[in-house]
C-alpha cells in the first residue's frame, strides 16, 4: 500500500510539473487542477515558475528564497472566497504573462515594466473580502472610510502588497536602485488601480485612440512607440484589466466554473444585504437570478466591447482567444432558451 501511495504521489507531482510547464505558452491552463495538485498553492508555484522562465529574478538579482517568501505571504493573504481567491490571482497572472508574449509587444517593454505588470497581476486582489466597492461604501466599512469611497478595494490591494514587502525576508525590491524602485511603484499602483471597473470606459477610449493612430500611421508594424512611457503604461493597465475580465474567453468548462464562483460570491453578498435589511444589489439575489442572461449581458456590454478593441490592437495573436469568446457566447445563448423554459416550467 505504501508503494502505491508513493507512486500516486510521484505521478501527481509529474502531472503538476507538466501543468506548470504548460503555463509558459498555453491559453486556458486548468488552474483548478494546479490548485488541487499544489496543495492549494497555485499562485506560488506558477509565479515562481513564470518569473524564473522570464529570467526576472536573475535580471534584478532577486534571491529565489526572497521571492518565494514574498509570493507565499501574498498567497496566504488571499481569502478563500468562491471567486476572488488565489486561483483567480494565478489566472490573471498567467493570462497577463501570455498576452505579454503577443508579437505586437516584441521589443516594446523593458524588463522592469514586465516585472511591474506581472507583480501587479499577482497581487491585484489580495485580501479581497468577497464583496463589492459599493457594498463597502453602503455599509460605511472601515476600508471605505480609509479610502474615501474611491477605488476602495483596489487601494487596499496595492497598499497591502507593498506592506508585505517589509515582512521579514520578503523584500523582493531591495536590489532595485532608487529610480527603478520609484518607477516600479508608480507602475504597480496605476495597474492595480486600473482594475477598478469604474475605469473600464477609459480603457476602451485609450485603446480606440491607439488603434486609430495605428490605422493612420504608415508603419503597419508595431504601433507602440517604445519611447512613449505613458502609452506603454496604459497598455499594461489594459492588459491586466483584460486578463481580469478574461473568464468568458477561456475554454467553456473553466468559464462555467468561474461563473458558478462569481455568482456564489454575489449571492453571499445578497444574503448579507438581506440580513442587514439593505436593498439587495443587482445580480446578488439567489432567489431571483437568471445566470445565463446575466452572462450574456456581461459579454455583450462589458467583455466584448473591451476585448474587441484590444484584439484589434493586438492582432493577429488575439484571434484564437476571440474565437473562444464567440463559441462560448453561442453556447450561453442556447442555454438561455432552455433556462427560460425551466423558469416557465
Ligand atoms: C464569470 O462571470 C464574471 C467574471 C468577472 C466579473 C467581473 C466584473 C468586473 N470584474 C473586475 C473586477 C471588479 O471590478 N468587480 C468584480 C465583480 O463584481 C463587480 C466588481 N470582474 C463578472 C462576472 O459576472 C458577473 C455576474 C453576472 C454578470 C457579471
Ligand atoms: Mg479587483
Ligand atoms: Zn480580479
> Three-state SS across 127-179?
CCCCCCHHHHHHCCCHHHHHCCCCCHHHHHHHHHHHHHCCCCCCCCCCCCCHH
Give the residue, by CA position, lying nearest to ligand 1 atom 19: 132
Q: What is the whole-number distance in angstroms between the Cα of residue 262 and the centre of ligand 1? A: 7
pLDDT over 90, % of the chain: 92
Mutation test residue for ligand 1: of 155, 197, 295, the one with most atoms within 8 Å of CB: 197
- Structure confidence at residue 63 (pLDDT): 98
Q: What is the mean pLDDT of residues 77-97?
A: 99
Where does the pLDDT of residue 344 fall: very low under 50, low under 70, confident under 90, or very high at 90 and above? low
Ion ligand 2 — residues with CB < 5 Å: 125, 195
Proximal ligand: closest to the CA of 128: 2
- Structure confidence at residue 221 (pLDDT): 58
C-alpha cell at 170: 520578503
C-alpha–C-alpha distance, residues 23 and 45, integer Å: 11
C-alpha–C-alpha distance, residues 259 and 118, integer Å: 24
- Structure confidence at residue 35 (pLDDT): 98
C-alpha–C-alpha distance, residues 250 and 284, integer Å: 24
pLDDT of 185 higher than 80: yes
Give the residue, by CA position, lying nearest to ligand 1 atom 17: 132
Give the residue, by CA position, lying nearest to ligand 1 atom 21: 245
- Structure confidence at residue 216 (pLDDT): 73
- Structure confidence at residue 220 (pLDDT): 55
- Structure confidence at residue 204 (pLDDT): 97
Question: For residues 257 and 248, is the Cβ–Cβ distance under 8 A?
Answer: no
- pTM listed for this prediction: 0.97
Question: For residues 293 and 339, is the Cβ–Cβ distance under 8 A?
Answer: yes
Q: What is the whole-number distance in angstroms between the Cα of residue 121 and the centre of ligand 2? A: 10
pLDDT of 114 higher than 80: yes
Q: What is the mean pLDDT of residues 74-101?
A: 99
| Annotated active-site residue in 40, 45, 49, 84 | 84
Q: Which atom of ligand 1 is nearest to the CA of 255?
A: 1
Q: What is the whole-number distance in angstroms between the Cα of residue 215 and the centre of ligand 3? A: 31
pLDDT tens, residue by residue, 15-24: 999 999 999 9
Proximal ligand: closest to the CA of 247: 1
Where does the pLDDT of residue 345 fall: very low under 50, low under 70, confident under 90, or very high at 90 and above? very low
CB-based burial label for 183 (10 Å; 0-12, 13-18, 19+): middle
Q: What is the mean pLDDT of residues 129-140?
A: 98
pLDDT tens, residue by residue, 189-217: 999 999 999 999 999 999 999 998 877 77
Residues in the ligand 1 pocket, defined by CB under 6 Å = 132, 196-197, 244-245, 247, 258-259, 262, 283, 294-295, 298
Give the residue, by CA position, lying nearest to ligand 1 atom 9: 197
Give the residue, by CA position, lying nearest to ligand 1 atom 1: 259
Q: Which atom of ligand 1 is nearest to the CA of 247?
A: 1
pLDDT tens, residue by residue, 144-171: 999 999 999 999 999 999 999 999 999 9
pLDDT over 70, % of the chain: 97
CB-based burial label for 51 (10 Å; 0-12, 13-18, 19+): buried
Q: Which atom of ligand 1 is nearest to the CA of 248?
A: 1
Catalytic annotation on 45? Answer: no
Amino acid at each position: 500500500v505504501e508503494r502505491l501511495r508513493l507512486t500516486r504521489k510521484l505521478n501527481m507531482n509529474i502531472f503538476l510539473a507538466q501543468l506548470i510547464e504548460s503555463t509558459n505558452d498555453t491559453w486556458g491552463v486548468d488552474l483548478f487542477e494546479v490548485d488541487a495538485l499544489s496543495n492549494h498553492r497555485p499562485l506560488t508555484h506558477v509565479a515562481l515558475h513564470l518569473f524564473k522562465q522570464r529570467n526576472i529574478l536573475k535580471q534584478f538579482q532577486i534571491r529565489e528564497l526572497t521571492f518565494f517568501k514574498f509570493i507565499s505571504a501574498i498567497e496566504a493573504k488571499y481569502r478563500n472566497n468562491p471567486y476572488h481567491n488565489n486561483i483567480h490571482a494565478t489566472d490573471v497572472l498567467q493570462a497577463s504573462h501570455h498576452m505579454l508574449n503577443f508579437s505586437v509587444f516584441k521589443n516594446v517593454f523593458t524588463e522592469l515594466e514586465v516585472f511591474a505588470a506581472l507583480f501587479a497581476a499577482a497581487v491585484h486582489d489580495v485580501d479581497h473580502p468577497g464583496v463589492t466597492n459599493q457594498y463597502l461604501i453602503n455599509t460605511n466599512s472601515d476600508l471605505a472610510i480609509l479610502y474615501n469611497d474611491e477605488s476602495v478595494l483596489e487601494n487596499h490591494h496595492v497598499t497591502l502588497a507593498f506592506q508585505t514587502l517589509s515582512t521579514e525576508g520578503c523584500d523582493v525590491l531591495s536590489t532595485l536602485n532608487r529610480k527603478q524602485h520609484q518607477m516600479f511603484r508608480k507602475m504597480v499602483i496605476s495597474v492595480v488601480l486600473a482594475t477598478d471597473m469604474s475605469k473600464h470606459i477609459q480603457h476602451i477610449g485609450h485603446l480606440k485612440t491607439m488603434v486609430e493612430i495605428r490605422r493612420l500611421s504608415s508603419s503597419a508594424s508595431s504601433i507602440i512607440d517604445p519611447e512613449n512611457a505613458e502609452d506603454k503604461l496604459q497598455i499594461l493597465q489594459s492588459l491586466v484589466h483584460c486578463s481580469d475580465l478574461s473568464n468568458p474567453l477561456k475554454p467553456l468548462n473553466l468559464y462555467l466554473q468561474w461563473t458558478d464562483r462569481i455568482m456564489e460570491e454575489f449571492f453571499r453578498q445578497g444574503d448579507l444585504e438581506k440580513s442587514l435589511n439593505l436593498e439587495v444589489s443587482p445580480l446578488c439575489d439567489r432567489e431571483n437570478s437568471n445566470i445565463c442572461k446575466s452572462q450574456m449581458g456581461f459579454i455583450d456590454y462589458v467583455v466584448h466591447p473591451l476585448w474587441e478593441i484590444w484584439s484589434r490592437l493586438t492582432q493577429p495573436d488575439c484571434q484564437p482567444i476571440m474565437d473562444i469568446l464567440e463559441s462560448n457566447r453561442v453556447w450561453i445563448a442556447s442555454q438561455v432558451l432552455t433556462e427560460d423554459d425551466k423558469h416557465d416550467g
